[in-house]
Structure formats: structure tokens, C-alpha cells
Structure 1
Amino acid sequence: MNKNKYVFWGLVITTLISALDANIMQTASPTIVKQLGGMELFAWIFSVYMLASTVTVPLYGKLSDMYGRKRLLIISVAIFTIGSLLAGLANSMVSLIIYRGIQGLGAGGMLPISMIIVGDLFTIEKRGKIQAVFSGIWTLSSIVGPVLGSFFVETLTWRWIFFINIPIGIATVLCLIPYKEQNQFKKTYIDYKGFVLFGLSITLLLLATNVSEPLWYVACGIVGMVLFLLVERKVEQPFLPVSLFKNRGTLMVNLYMLFLCISFFGTPNYIPLFLQEGSHMNIYQSGLILLSIAIGWTFGSTPAGKWIIRYGYKHLFIIGNLICTLAGLVIFFVIKDVSYFLLFGLLTVQGFAFGLLFAVGTIASQEFVENDIKGMSTSLQIFIRNIGTSIGVTVMGLFINHAATMVIGMKNIYLFALCVSVLSIVVTFFIPTKSPVGNEG
């Protein structure tokens, strides 16, 4: 267990640099554009990272089932660290975008493989507590990241938002070296043709959320997905294992997480903007309200493992979803005149539901399948969450941009979330109470 302690800290550091990088660019990017030029390419600083880190998630999961978690995590951290070094040395916007893409290729494996290792090392009871720590890191990073970005820009140089990742990446690898994997990994065939079709299709669909005329991207993405499905049907060992979709528990949990992320999981992204524009609060006070999510998440995620043993998956999904929906319904009705502290309290309740649901969802993705595809199952769920969140945040952004006032825009995104949550509520009743493959012991 002493060695596991070092591994745990390695996973914490991995999560920290991944979370900080996702948030630190917010305040540094305007300065970067001023120095490097290429304002027309501004959005690609974020888009290329998001695309690379999302599309590669399932591939990392597949490879981790074949070659082991430790090796793949070290490789992903190394790619991310090299990308950070290159990004810090970039002398043009085009080169920075390329190097951000390399960062994203590494980041695609860092979070899912960390979650897979947690599933390998710790019992169900302990996994909820550990996921609470990781989730807290992400939420706190959304507050600390922009502040840290401002510090580097004003005190040192924007290049340090990338250079800081280098010693942290080295420390992560050193923490992972003592880890001795107990699982046996079996090398199998990888359907790279299927992965390329899958990757291109998802890339086109994600690009549709970042361009002014998305219809061609959506159409080509859908055609690509149809081709992918046709090809996969004829492959003996498809890129996405058929057993993942024949397993009713895995299918329903993934479908549920998709609806959850499309609906309420994206709403907190717009709360700071609402407080700044609608209530004229400063950036620090508006950002601080996101601490409510972290606080609630901790209380919801920590006991999730024990509650699974006692109450089963289905009941926790139903209860968590109802809590999330009711909190969202109250926010919908009071958003016009809501006080800061009432909103903080309601978001804490919703954070509790998020913590419970995400912890139960992650554990279910690992316990509902056999050990030889646990990595693929875990990474697939994280991939689906990313897709759902991208869809939800994009649609909500359209509501905000086309609303007459900020209050109307916020009411519209919560109405949208409430409508989608009806689908997630229906799905919860089809989720098994216990693991179909009996891994709870």
C-alpha cells in the first residue's frame, strides 16, 4: 500500500496538470494573440486541444487493456509534457496550434487511464472518496487556473503557463515508477481502420460546434459514423467491443451519462457570466461561486461506493437524478431575483448530485464488464461525457447569444436542461440494480 500511495499522488498530479491546462489558457490567450498575431486563428488554440484530447480517449482505453495502464499513462504524460515544452517555445500562432494539438494527444489518456488505475487498485468503497478528490481538483482549477494565468502573464511571461507543466510531468512519471500492475494484459488486434473512421466522424461532429456553417460538418460526420458501423459489423475484433453494447447495464449507464451531460452538467459554465453581466460582480466573486459545485461534489462522491453496496446502482441513479433536476427546477424559477447565497446553496445541492452520479457512473463502467475490457469501458464513458458536455454547452451558448437579456438566456438554458433531463429520468429505470457480471465482491 505504501507504493500505492506514490501512485495515488502521481494520479493526483496528472489530474492537476490536465485540469489546470484546461482553465489557465482563459486569461493568458489574449496576450498570446497580441504577441504572436493571427487573431483569426484564436479559437483553434482551444478547439485543436479539445478535438485531440476527446477523439483519442477510446484508443487509450483500448491500448491500456492490451499493454497495461502504467505504460500508457507514462506515454500520455510524456506526450503532454513534450507538447507543453514546444508550446512554450512557439513563435507563431500556427506552430502554437500544432503544439496544442500534441498536448491534446497526451491529455486524451491522462484522465481516463488515471480513472482506470483507480478501478484496478482500490475497492468500490474507496473509489468514491478518490473520485471526490479528483473532481475537487477540476472544480478548484476552474477558479485557480484563470488567476494563475494572469499571474504568469503579468509577472513572468505567458510561456510559463506551458513550461510549468515540465517539472510537474517529470514528477508524475517518478511517482508512477514504483507501481507494479497485478492484472494480466492480453495483446489483441486493433481495428485501426475503424478507429480512423470513428475519429474522423467524431472530429467533424465536434467541429460543427465551432464553425459558423455546421451543416456540412454534421452531414459528413453522420455519413462517417454510418460507414464506421458498417465496417465494424464485418470485423472480427471491432474497435468498440460488441459486448459493451450487448451489455444492457453498460448501454443504459452510458446513455444516461450522455443525457446528464447534455442537460444540467453544462449549466454551471454560464453562472459566472450571468453574475458578471446580470449582477455586475467582479471576476473573482463570480468565479468563487463554482466552489459550491466542488463542496457538493465531495459530499456526493465520497460515500458513493458504500451506497452502491447497500442500495445498488439503479436506486442511486434515480435519487441523484431527481435531486439534480429539482435543484435545476428551483433555479429556473428564481434565477431572475436569486441572491448570491441562495444560488450558492442550490449549486451545492446540484454539485452533490453530480458527485454521486459521476462516481456511480464511473464505478458502474468498471464493474458492469469483464476485466479484459475494463479500460475500454471506462474510457468510453469518459468519451461520452465529453461529447455530451460539448453538445450541451454549445446549445446553451446559442440560447445565451440569441436571448434579449441575460436572465432570459439563463431561463432558456435551464428550460432546455429540464426537458433533456426527462429523458435521463426515463433511462434510470432501465439500469440494473446490481452488476451483471458480479464484480461487487
Structure 2
Amino acid sequence: MAVHTTTHHSSGQVLPFRESLLAMLGISFVTMLVALDQTVVGTALPTIVAELKGFDLYAWVATSYLLASVITVPIFGRLGDYYGRKPFLIASIVVFTGASVLCGMANSMLFLVLARGLQGIGGGMLVGTAFACIPDLFPDSVVRLRWQVMMSSAFGIANAIGPSLGGFLTQYAGWRSVFYVNLPVGLLSLFFVWRYLPHMRHVAHEGRMRLDWPGAVLIALALGSLQLFVELLPKHGVSAAAVALLAVSIVAAWALWQWEKRFPQAILPVDMFRNRSLNALFTLSVLGGFSMFSLLFYAPLLFQGGFGMSPQEAGLVITPLVVFITIGSIANGRIVSRIPNPNLMLYVGFGMLAVSCLAVVIATRAMPHALLMAFMIFGGLGLGFVMPNLTVFAQQTAGREHLGIATALLQSLRMIGGMVGTAITGTFVTHMYASGVRSALENDHAMQWFGDLGDPQILINHEAQTTLTTQMAQAGHNGGVLLETAREALVAAIHLGLALAAAVAVISVWQSRRVPPVKLRRQIEPVVSAD
């Protein structure tokens, strides 16, 4: 295979406009594939569980996917640096799409969980390689920011239509169709990537490269244990199993650090963490993920369970959050290349995210929906100002050799921040809600109903509420008052969790000062390409 230096076009892109557009279409379809799956499947889950009858594995449908993807993102981000990203992107589309078909064919919950784990491996490969393809195509960071809008738009469209599409497909075509919908999108992305994405490699190495298998195993152990700890914490609190998993994660992370310092072709180059600028950006990615996922996961529960909105009303109120992440990214691309201090956008973005979280904390059921939507718009714009800049700043700081692993680590660390954020908020919600409900039921001598009322999901299920209030009335209790008390307990618990998310966003504003001034470069660096 011939290796040569690619000739750059004067506009700061590797390919002419038409080829760049077609290659970016392929990458955008890949992004849409992952985003669609994340939003569509959630809507169908209650129906899936009802048919496959495996409620004990309910959480594992999401967990198995997350676990596999969190582990594979950094591994394939690094392999892409060595071997070029195109082969891994093609393999990831094939694995992800094939696993989607297996999910649709599932005849038991265990089969579905295993197929979702395989889908997570494909999803992790996709995220680990797709995001790093953009700087390959556009070495000039100013040009890159403009093209990145296509990827943000694909993500935004998928997030906006995903919940509604999931509901529609489940109702009219059956739950299996929510997995089969990945097939046409997967084939489309496969065609564009195969045909138009160039095969570029940035790290030239002599002879056969030694793969860092111990590093990969230690990453899997550290992140896998952390993910399982996060799953256990909200349900069982600080149990012996949770502490043991956290200890395994910490020991594996320490062992990984020690090993990678000595291995010449480390999958996780530790010298990146000694870079002050990258360190600051990685920290901001964790903190940003914490606030972002807390808001994305618990605002819908607040609106439906706490404020009594229908799923459609809650969907309408929450949609501006995901749509304006895209609009914010588009606006950011225009603004950041025109201002003398691009770092300013991090302060503005995290500040807006903090205000949005605080606004939801003081939100009440009596507030007009338009005002709640304005809070969501503010948060979406803030995230749109933060996320693309963290990526571009890290890519510029890391240099060509570490471009893929730096981009992949940002995605992984954001997911880890989100895992920790949702676990802590989930722990608050589970225990504060249960405590409030228990107190109300004890006062009313109605503790026999704790099994029904102790799960916040009943505040979303109107049929279950009607059945419960009827049964309580027959036993001489005022079910309506007790349900209202449960709603108040849920609102208080979510408000506390989102207050913590707001505090983390404020800390992020303060931490943004650690990022050294970034200058968006116009010069073009040579890229090693293998056609």
C-alpha cells in the first residue's frame, strides 16, 4: 500500500468541496445512526419488557450498551491513530447495523441484552473514530468548525425526531421496527464512507506494531467497574458490592497509569495528561457531562412525574434543549472564528448551562410551558457553545499523533461525567422520594401501599394511578392526597439533584480559566495518507 503526503487545498481541507461534502455526509449518517438508536429505543422499552417478560433485566438493555461503548471508545480512538480511521469506521457500521438486526430478532430479554452489548461495541467504535475523521479532512481548525455543523445538525435532527419516531414505530409497526430502522441508515452511511472517505494515517511506524492488550484490558476493567458501580449506587446505596466495584475501578486505573508509562506504544499516552491545556479540557469534559446528562435525564421525569405533564407535553418542552444544542453549535462556528479570544465561548456556554439548571431548580408546576421551554433553549445554546469548542481545542492542542485518542477521550470522559452525574442525581431521587413517600404513608397508616407508591414511575403511569387511588379509597385512604405528596417529594428530590448539576456548571466556569488561550490556527499541517 503506497504511503504519501496528501496535497492540501488552499481552503484548509484535504479534499475538494464536493468530495468533502460527500465524505461528511457519510460521517453525519454515522452520527445519526448512534443518536437515533439512543433516543428511539428508550421510548419502546416499556413495550419490549411487557412482551419479552424480563423486568429484572430492564436496566441492562441500556447498561450493556453503555458498558461496551464506554470501554471501546478510547481503544479504537487510539487504533485509528495508528492504522487510519476508515477500516474501523467501516467495521463499526457493519457491527452496529448487524447487532441492530439481532436486537430486532430477540425472543428473550437475555438475548436482547447480549445483542445490545454487541451494538455497544459497534457504537463505541463509531464514536471513537467518527469524531476524529473531521480533523483528518479539515486540518485548518477554522474551516473544521464550519464543517462540523453538518455533524451537529445530524445529531440534533436525530435527537429531535427520535422520541416521536420511537413512539410512532412502536405503536404502528411493533417494537422490533425501532431496531430495524437502523438498517437503511447503516447501509446509507456504509456506502458514503466506503466510497468517499479517504484512508489517512498520522502515525508512521516501522514493521509490525505491538498492540497494547494489557492497556486495553485495564481500560475495560477500570471503566466497566465504574459503570457497574454507577448502576448499583442509585438502587442499593453504598453497599459492599458498590464499594468493591469502586475499589476495583480505582486499582485498575492506577495499574493502567503505571503500565502506560512504560509501554512504548501505549493505547493511552500518559504524556497527554501532563499537558496543562489538555488536562483542563479533559476536566471540563467530565464536568460538562455531569451537568448535561443530569439535565437530559431528570428534566423529563420532573415534567412528567413531578408536574403531571403528558409524555407529549413533556416531549414538547424538552425538545428545545436538544434542538438548540445544534443551533448553538452552528452559531458557535460563526462566532468563535471571529472573536480574538475563543476561550470566551467556554465561559459563556458553561454560564448559560448553570443558569438553565438553576432555572429548572426554581421551576414550579404553575409556570407556563413557554417559560420552561425558554429555560431549555438557554441550556441547549450553552451546550452548543461548549461541546464543539472542547473538541476543537483538544484536537488543536494534542497534535496529529494523538488526535484520535484525544478526541475519543473527550467523548469517553463526557460519558463518564454523565454516568457519575446521573448516578448521584439518581441516588438523591431514589432515596429522597422513598423517604418522603414512606413518611406520608406512615402518617396515614397506609404502609401497605409503599410497594406501589415507592417507585416514581407510578407518577407517569395514569392507569396505575387510577387503580391505586380506587384501592386506597376502598380501604378508607385519600389516594389523591398521597399521590400529591409523592409528587412533591419527587420534585424536591430532582430539584436537589439539578441544583448539584448547576453547582458543577458554575465550577466549570471557574475551571475554564485553566485552559491556556487558544488561537485557532490557519496554517495547514501535512498528513500521512494511505489510499
Q: Which secondary structure state, in structure 2, belongs to the residue aligned with residue 80 of structure 1?
A: helix
Name the CA shift for 1:58/1:194 in 2 (closer, same or farther; >3 Å): same
1:409 correspondence with 2:427: no
1:117 — aligned with what?
133
1:241 — aligned with what?
269
| Counterpart pick for 1:196 among 211, 217, 220 | 217
Which one-letter code corresponds to 2:106 in the other structure? A
Please list the CA deviations of residues 190-242 of structure 1 after superposition, one character each: whole Å capped at 9, or x if unmatched. Answer: 31101101111110111111123422211221122122222223322322112
Matches within 5 A, 1:208-227: 208-211=229-232, 212=236, 213=239, 214-227=242-255
| Counterpart pick for 2:400 among 371, 380, 385 | 371
1:304 correspondence with 2:332: yes
Matches within 5 A, 1:26-175: 26-122=42-138, 123-175=140-192
| Counterpart pick for 2:344 among 315, 340, 351 | 315
Q: Distance in 2 between matches of 1:102 and 1:410?
A: 33
Q: Distance in 1 between matches of 2:402 and 2:272?
A: 9
Q: Residue 132 of structure 1 contacts residue 355 of structure 1 at CA under 8 Å; is this kept in 2?
A: no
Please list the CA deviations of residues 359-413 of structure 1 after superposition, one character each: whole Å capped at 9, or x if unmatched. Answer: 1101012111111210111011011001001111121122222244233123202
Instruction: After superposing the two structures, state which structure 1 stretch, 37-46 or 309-318, moved more.
Output: 309-318
| Counterpart pick for 2:198 among 139, 162, 180 | 180
Q: Which secondary structure state, in structure 1, belongs to the residue aligned with residue 267 of structure 2?
A: coil
Q: Which secondary structure state, in structure 1, belongs to the residue aligned with residue 227 of structure 2?
A: helix
Q: Distance in 2 between matches of 1:102 and 1:304?
A: 35
Cα distance, 1:136 vs structure 2 = 4.5
Cα distance, 1:131 vs structure 2 = 4.0
Q: Distance in 2 between matches of 1:244 and 1:335?
A: 45
Instruction: After superposing the two structures, state which structure 1 stretch, 30-39 or 217-226, moved more.
Output: 30-39
Q: Distance in 2 between matches of 1:26 and 1:386?
A: 17
Name the CA shift for 1:423/1:130 in 2 (closer, same or farther; >3 Å): same
Q: Distance in 2 between matches of 1:415 and 1:9?
A: 39
1:429 correspondence with 2:450: no
Q: Residue 7 of structure 1 contacts residue 175 of structure 1 at CA under 8 Å; is this kept in 2?
A: yes
Instruction: After superposing the two structures, state which structure 1 stretch, 97-106 or 330-339, moved more.
Output: 330-339
| Counterpart pick for 1:420 among 489, 497, 504 | 504
Name the CA shift for 1:327/1:85 in 2 (closer, same or farther; >3 Å): closer
Q: Residue 65 of structure 1 contacts residue 186 of structure 1 at CA under 8 Å; is this kept in 2?
A: no
Q: Which secondary structure state, in structure 1, belongs to the residue aligned with residue 343 of structure 2?
A: helix
Q: Distance in 2 between matches of 1:146 and 1:332?
A: 24
Q: Distance in 2 between matches of 1:425 and 1:129?
A: 25
Which one-letter code corresponds to 2:228 in the other structure? L
| Counterpart pick for 2:377 among 337, 348, 359 | 348
Q: Distance in 2 between matches of 1:142 and 1:295?
A: 7
Q: Distance in 2 between matches of 1:329 and 1:154?
A: 36
Matches within 5 A, 1:377-396: 377-396=406-425
Instruction: After superposing the two structures, state which structure 1 stretch, 380-389 or 253-262, moved more.
Output: 253-262
2:429 — aligned with what?
400
Q: Distance in 1 between matches of 2:47 and 2:128?
A: 32
Q: Residue 160 of structure 2 contacts residue 323 of structure 2 at CA under 8 Å; is this kept in 1?
A: no
Instruction: After superposing the two structures, state which structure 1 stretch, 213-222 or 117-126, moved more.
Output: 117-126
Cα distance, 1:299 vs structure 2 = 3.7
Please list the CA deviations of residues 299-352 of structure 1 after superposition, one character each: whole Å capped at 9, or x if unmatched. Answer: 421243454443334322223222322333344334465321112112211211
Instruction: After superposing the two structures, state which structure 1 stretch, 171-180 or 360-369, moved more.
Output: 171-180
1:327 correspondence with 2:356: yes
Q: Residue 261 of structure 1 contacts residue 389 of structure 1 at CA under 8 Å; is this kept in 2?
A: yes
Q: Distance in 2 between matches of 1:327 and 1:155?
A: 36
Instruction: After superposing the two structures, state which structure 1 stretch, 213-222 or 418-427, moved more.
Output: 418-427
2:284 — aligned with what?
256
Cα distance, 1:284 vs structure 2 = 1.2
TM-score (norm 2): 0.77
Cα distance, 1:95 vs structure 2 = 1.8
Q: Distance in 2 between matches of 1:330 and 1:171?
A: 41
Which one-letter code corresponds to 1:259 in the other structure? L
Q: Distance in 2 between matches of 1:353 and 1:92?
A: 41
| Counterpart pick for 1:358 among 387, 395, 409 | 387
Q: Which runs of 5+ in 1 are unaligned?
A: none
TM-score (norm 1): 0.92
Q: Distance in 2 between matches of 1:67 and 1:93?
A: 37
Cα distance, 1:142 vs structure 2 = 4.1
Please list the CA deviations of residues 105-139 of structure 1 after superposition, one character each: whole Å capped at 9, or x if unmatched. Answer: 00112234222112222343344444444344445
1:7 — aligned with what?
23
Identity of aligned residues (%): 28
Q: Which runs of 5+ in 2 are unaligned?
A: 1-16, 437-488, 524-531
Instruction: After superposing the two structures, state which structure 1 stretch, 306-315 or 158-167, moved more.
Output: 306-315
Which one-letter code corresponds to 2:222 in the other structure? S
Please list the CA deviations of residues 127-159 of structure 1 after superposition, one character each: whole Å capped at 9, or x if unmatched. Answer: 444444434444554453333233333323322
Instruction: After superposing the two structures, state which structure 1 stretch, 156-165 or 343-352, moved more.
Output: 156-165
Cα distance, 1:183 vs structure 2 = 5.0
Name the CA shift for 1:277/1:29 in 2 (closer, same or farther; >3 Å): closer
Q: Which secondary structure state, in structure 2, belongs to the residue aligned with residue 290 of structure 1?
A: helix
Q: Residue 139 of structure 1 contacts residue 291 of structure 1 at CA under 8 Å; is this kept in 2?
A: no
Instruction: After superposing the two structures, state which structure 1 stretch, 383-392 or 208-217, moved more.
Output: 208-217
1:269 — aligned with what?
297
Q: Which secondary structure state, in structure 2, belongs to the residue aligned with residue 341 of structure 1?
A: helix
